[in-house]
Every structure is written in structure tokens, then in C-alpha cells.
Structure 1
Amino acid sequence: MPATRLMPTEEGRELIDLTREICTKELAPRVDDAERAAATGESFPTEVFATLGDAGLLALPQPEEYGGHDQPAEVYLQVVEELASVWMSVAVGVSVHALSTYPLVHHGTDEQRAALLPGMLSGSQLGAYCLSEPLAGSDIAAMTTRATRERDGYVVRGRKAWISHAGHADYYTTFVRTSDDGGRGLTCLLVPADAEGLSFGAPERKMGLHCDTVREVLFDDVRVAADRRIGEEGQGMAIALAALDTGRLGIAAAATGLAQGALDLAVRYARDREQFGRPIAEFQGLAFLLAELEAAVTSARATYLHAARLQDAARPFTREAAVAKLVATDTAMRVTTDAVQVLGGAGYTEDFPAERYLREAKVTQIFEGTNQIQRLVIGRDLLR
């Protein structure tokens, strides 16, 4: 991994070092076997998230008074990058968990935060973020999952699609329709995992990220207490879009870590593999390719750190988050593809993780808003 990281505090440096140690001792020895096992049957790394929770790495950016660490976004995102360089499914899971807490942290009442956040940030609970639907992905305003108001709360009917942690989460941060007023008719609810009527579809069979269990979440007259509503009725769209800005930075950091892991593998292989009596790293064409990949990874890292510093300074960062997500995920796709090429035939086998990196990279260009949507966000903001 690169020796240089920008750390605002000594505590931040210690958290990065702790993450690297956990990656080396806990994640690296089990990632390949776990991903293979999950490819043919559901396998969720519950114990890994428990380890990260015990280390405080599931609560980095959240308020200290509720059990978080009050770390700036740039430290939290570098932790995500470190995790992704070893185990992408886990890094995505950490980002999803942070996304699931965002509405409560920023839009909940003091009473809600005091009652719910300590458990969410303790490491004993894992969250899911229920926004997408089968016919409402990028078009959030097309959402049809509906919550009908009753005297003591809401009754939710509908389904959510492509939900990470579904069936394993302890709570579901869920966006529902409470009126027919388009995007202004959405509301955010925190649904407990043991709610009656809550069920799940079969795990999706995906190209990669096998340990990131993804399912439909089904709501069959699920009753949710009124005090589990986050923000006001009709505020859901604004909450969801603000949360997605932070989520896009999480995916940008994870994609950067994935690209870094692929580049590290390619460099090691190029040093060890000999052809024509010398390491292939000594051939200028390959050395130039590796240099280009290093420049691409470094550039991707710079985009998410720039956006993170704007976020830490409480300045607008929507456009910069979209840029970071676009650049970092396109970089991950390029670097993982070229890493397979550097390894040649070996890169196409499961003897090396290069093929897994490539499979994992593709979805980063799709979730948290496709890269076509990122271009739309960037263009609209530029021309506003």
C-alpha cells in the first residue's frame, strides 16, 4: 500500500494503522475462501463486522456523544479504502452501514438519537439502506412502496430491491411514499428487523461481491411506530439525496482501494515473473503501463479526498462527490482490467485474485447512482 496518507490528527493515523493491521491479520487470510463459498451458497461475514465494530471502525464519522468517534470524512473514507484494498465486500458493507445511520444522525430528534444511535454505533448492530425498488432505481420519485398513516404510526406495503445486508441487518432505513405529491411525497422510516410482516427474497446471484448479500426486502402490512419516522413527512427525498452524497464518497473510496489492491498485485507479479531471462517489470512497455495505473489510482484518491475536505468544512460537495464516484469507479474498472492483462493467463484463473477484482469493479460503476447519472448530476450543477 502507498506509504503516504494525509492524516489530520494522530488519532486518525492510529485508526488507519489499526485498519491495516486488521486487514492483514483478519481479512486477508479468509477473503478468498469466503467469497468462493458465498458464490455457491449464502455466506455473510458477520464475525468480520463484529471485529470491525469492536475496533470502533463502524462508527468513525458519527457523534462521539452517542458512541461514535467524530472523525472527519477524510479519515473515515481512508479506512474504507484500506478495507477495500483487501476485501471489497466488507468495505461496501461499512459504507452501507454508515449510509444507514446518516438520516438519524442529521435529521433525527435529540430523543431519537439518544435512544437509537448508541446501539447502531456499538458494533453490535448492522444497518441496511432501503431506497431502490424494482421500477425505481435512479428515478427515486417513481417510488411506490407506501406507508399509510394510522393513529399510532404507519403501515408499510411494498418492496425494495438490491438491498445490501437484507436478512442480516438489525434495522432498515427505509424510504416510503406517504402522499402522491411526486418526490415531495416521500418519508424516511427506521424499520426494526423483527417487525412483523417484514420478509426477504432469495439472495441475488451476482457477478462479484458475493459476501455482500443482496436481496429484495418485502413489506406486507409492516407496522412502524410514529417515533421511528426520521424528519417530517415529505422530507424523504431531501434526506435520501443528501445521504447519497456521502454514500457516493464511500463507494469512491472503496473503488480506489480496490484499484490499489489490483495495482499492488500487478506490481508484485511483474517483479517475480520472468520472461526472456529477466523480470517482466524490466520491459519498458509494462513499466509505463504500471506508471499510468499508479497515476490513475492517485488521481482517484485525490478526487474523493477533495470532496471529503469540502464535506468536513461544511461546504457543498454534491458535484465533487459525483466527480469522485465517476472517476474512482471508472479507474477501478480500468486498473483491474489491466491487472488481469499484466498477469496474462494467470490473471484469468482463480489462483490469483485479479479476476475477482475485475468482477467486483464492474458494479461500482452501477450502484449509488450509475456513472451516467453522475454525469447528469455534474452537468446540471455546472450549468445551474
Structure 2
Amino acid sequence: QGYYKLLDPKYKYPRCFCTDEDIDVTVEVARFVDEKIYPERHNCEGGWHRDEKLGTETRNRLYKECVKLGLTKTSYPERLGGLGRSMVLRNMVYEELARGEVGLAMDVMHIHWPVSFMLAAKRDDLLEEFAPYIVGTDDAWIGCVAISEPAGSVNIEDPAFDLRTIRTRLKIEGDEAIVTGHKIWPGTGGPLARFQTDDIKGHLGYWTIVTRDPTKGSEAADIVYVPPDAKGLSFSPPYKKMGICWGDENVEIWYDDVRVPKRYVHCL
């Protein structure tokens, strides 16, 4: 087999970065991709006619299978019922899932990513709050991280700007945080009812990158959790992209003086 042997997870990932157990998990994910995702990968985009119903129903059903396999639990702390695994394993899982359908890898990542925020901010209270939705059930929940903005898109992530290009504002009034602004491209997002289906229990909400003062850069930047049904939250329809149209539904989000409890600001 020569070169193609390196496509096998048992040989693909160098053991100087991962453990034998990580390899075993990844082998199972690869088998899942071959057996469950590959036969339906075309349907994830709605087939030849990019049919929205076929695309979303296929994505939702396969994502539910990912949740049942435990893939959304890998980064949650063991003490709260998660697997407590490394970022290396997370990326190995993404790579194998993306081999079958990159949108599913994104859906799993959109659960892992907020967990990383809460861990980095040492917010055990928030980890405990979201544990029942992520590790305490086999129900499938969708999540979203909102970063990019219309004026400069992903330049928010360019370290040269030190987060000074963020225009979505955060203001604190008493025990409330007020979010005002506009995000573009975050996925998967939209009206709450869109994510209440036979296979998807609901949407967890929007972890939103904000600033209290753009001139202060990273000193004033933060992450705030916005519940999916928050008053003042509105969405565009999903962008009908050339690819990954229904596998990862990118939208615009408007925050019109959205008020949430101050404790949802991660690093305040």
C-alpha cells in the first residue's frame, strides 16, 4: 500500500504528540465515518439539487450519531462527567470527521470551543451550568461562536490588531450585561425553532466576542454567552454558499441591546 498506509489512523498520527488511547479513539471515529457518513456525504449538501430539507435532516441525523458516540464530550472535565481529553485528540477527531463531512466536524467543534473558553477563564460555575446539556445526556445540542464582523471579517483574529477591530460592544449595568452589534458568518446559527427537530434537542446559544472599548484592544475584549432566545437577537437566513451550505449554516447575527446576566461575561 505504500503511501496510502499513512491515511490509516493507526499510522497517520505521530505518537510523540498523542497516546495509544488517542489512536484507538480515532480508529473508532474513522470507522464511524466510513460506515455512517461516507454513504450520505452527498446528502449533507442536499444532493444534486442542494435541497435544504434533505441537507438539514441528514446533517441533524448524523450529528446526533456523533453525540451518541460521545464526540462532544471529549474536552469536558472528568469530574463533571466528560472525558477530559487533550486538544490533540480533539483535532484528531475533527480531521477524521472532516474526511467525511466537514460540517459535522464544525458542529462538534462548536461544542468543544465554548468549553475551552470556560476552562481558560476558570469558570467552574458555567461548566457546571452547561454540563447537563453536553455530558449529562445523549440529546444533541447545537452551539455557536460569533467572532467575525462585517467591517473586517476575520481580522479580529489577527494578533497584529490586538482585538482593536471588534465593534460589537459590551456594557455593564448593575447585574446585567448589554450586547450591541453585528456578527457575520458564524455557524451554526438562526432562530431557535430551526434547531428543535426530531434529532436536535435545541440550540445552546452564542458565545460572542465583544469589547468594552475598542481603543484598549485585548485589555477590554471579552466573551459573553448569549442564550438562543434572548430578546433583541435576530438573524439573516443561512448563506447559500458554493459548498458546506447546509452542513454548516453561516448567518448574520444582530444584537439589539441584548441583555443577559452579568455572570455570562466570561472574564469580567
For residues 134 and 232 of structure 2, the distance between their equivalents in structure 1, rounded to whole angstroms, comes to: 22
Partner of 1:172: 206
Measured against aligned partners, the alpha-carbon deviations of 1:321-368 in whole angstroms (never above 9, x if no partner) come to: xxxxxxxxxxxxxxxxxxxxxxxxxxxxxxxxxxxxxxxxxxxxxxxx
Q: Which amino acid aligns with 1:33?
A: N
Identity between Structure 1 and Structure 2 (%): 24
Displacement of 1:118 after TM fit?
4.1
Map 1:242-253 to 2 at 5 A. Answer: none
Q: Secondary structure at the match of 2:76?
A: coil
Partner of 1:39: 50
Gaps of 5+ in 1: 233-384
Gaps of 5+ in 2: 1-6, 157-162, 196-202
Displacement of 1:49 after TM fit?
1.9
Map 1:89-238 to 2 at 5 A. Answer: 89-122=103-136, 124-137=140-153, 138-139=155-156, 140-167=163-190, 168=195, 169-183=203-217, 184-210=219-245, 211-232=247-268
Q: Secondary structure at the match of 1:28?
A: helix
Structure 1 pair 213–180 and aligned structure 2 pair: CA distance change class (3 A): closer
For residues 42 and 69 of structure 2, the distance between their equivalents in structure 1, rounded to whole angstroms, comes to: 23
Superposed CA RMSD: 2.2
CA contact under 8 A between 1:188 and 1:229: conserved in structure 2? yes
Measured against aligned partners, the alpha-carbon deviations of 1:67-94 in whole angstroms (never above 9, x if no partner) come to: 3212222222211111111112212332
Measured against aligned partners, the alpha-carbon deviations of 1:92-142 in whole angstroms (never above 9, x if no partner) come to: 332333223221121042222222244234563222111111013214422
Measured against aligned partners, the alpha-carbon deviations of 1:159-217 in whole angstroms (never above 9, x if no partner) come to: 11110111244211111222353313222111111212212111112121121110011
Displacement of 1:18 after TM fit?
2.0
Displacement of 1:13 after TM fit?
3.2
Is 1:59 equivalent to 2:73 in the alignment? yes
For residues 171 and 121 of structure 1, the distance between their equivalents in structure 2, rounded to whole angstroms, comes to: 16
CA contact under 8 A between 2:45 and 2:51: conserved in structure 1? no
Query: Could you tell me the TM-score, scaled by structure 2's length?
Result: 0.78
Larger Rg: 1
For residues 52 and 87 of structure 1, the distance between their equivalents in structure 2, rounded to whole angstroms, comes to: 12
Is 1:27 equivalent to 2:40 in the alignment? no
Partner of 1:15: 25
Q: Secondary structure at the match of 2:224?
A: strand
For residues 267 and 188 of structure 2, the distance between their equivalents in structure 1, rounded to whole angstroms, comes to: 24
Partner of 2:62: 48
CA contact under 8 A between 1:101 and 1:127: conserved in structure 2? no
Aligned residues: 232
